[in-house]
Amino acid sequence: MRTDGFDIFGASDIGKKREENQDHFMVADLRRQLTVRQTDIPEKQNAELFGCQQGSIMVVADGMGGHQSGEQASHTAIEASAKYVLDMMHWFLKLSADDEQEFLDELSDCLKSVQKKIWSAGGPGGRRMGTTVTMAYLLWPRMFVVHAGDSRCYLLRNGQFQQLTTDHTIAQQLIDSGGMSPDDEAVKNWRHVLWNCVGGSEKQVRPEAVRCRLQHDDVLVLCSDGLTGMLNDETIRLIISSADNSEQAVGRLIDEANRAGGEDNISVIVCRIDRPDDCDNDQSVGAFDTTIV
């Protein structure tokens, strides 16, 4: 689906080993109203919610907590994220550096609001359910990402493929602390254990916020760990680099993940940026910054 220089496509697949898909995703446009382009939540397909914002949103959520609880947590996260950006956030057509920090703070509050919805859905002393959430808001030429968990946001620029978000897993903490490599058995045993997510415990979520200046020919990928658990970064880079459009890239990524075993649900959103007329951004892949609040 191509609008305003963004070719965006998303899909979610149950994989080969799971009995239920606990992932959800959404691609939406904000043009004085939120118009849902794609989602796997049926009652929200083609929905229009009115507000006063503009931009594009991509969200991936990977639920946990048992069959119904995990699906409900990710479902709630997608719906609550969309409602939050309409009802409570102040979007800016022109953002100064000070505005951008306020913008990131508001996005971080979005995940805290989503967590309250998930806690409420579980009921008093009820089900312990949680979800990862990775949400990107595109307001050309800027992108703002808020994130909790081990779903990911990647940027492909000039052949370099870079993970913008951090995996909030015990395994990643062991690697970051030094002295351990991803191939160590101790690290592998902790690669699916999250220290930060939305819901899942009584702990307050600690949103990670990323901002990045985009440029012509950038490709963005948001995905659940059902993709990255099956395919390494180089394989993902090669697939999206060789695809003709975002829909083809998503289809190939899901097919390859299933061919590699399909051990988990697989959700992917790919966004290819075609804005040659106003490409005046920084040329380095490292033109972004990350904070955890």
Question: Is the residue at 225 inside a domain?
Answer: yes
Given CA atoms 278, 275, 134, 79 in this order, what sign does their dihedral have?
positive
The range of the structural domain enclosing residue 111 comes to 2-274
Query: What was the pLDDT predicted at 290?
Result: 60
Determine, yes or no, domain membership for 280: no
The pLDDT of residue 288 = 59
Q: Total structural domains in the chain?
A: 1
* Residue 71 maps to a domain: yes
In a domain, 284, yes or no: no
Joined together, the tokens standing for residue 188 give 């592998």
Pseudo-torsion of CA 134, 137, 138, 144, nearest 10°? Answer: -80
User: What is the rounded distance in angstroms from the CA atom of residue 271 to the CA atom of residue 291?
Assistant: 23
Give the per-residue pLDDT at 31: 66
pLDDT in tens, 167-199: 999 999 988 887 788 878 878 888 889 999 999
Model pTM?
A: 0.87
* 281 part of a folded domain: no
CATH of the domain at 17: 3.60.40.10
290 inside domain: no
Structure confidence by residue, pLDDT tens digits, 62-73:
999 776 789 999
- What mean pLDDT comes out for the span 40-50? 63
CA angle centred on 228, ends 222 and 232, rounded to 5°: 120
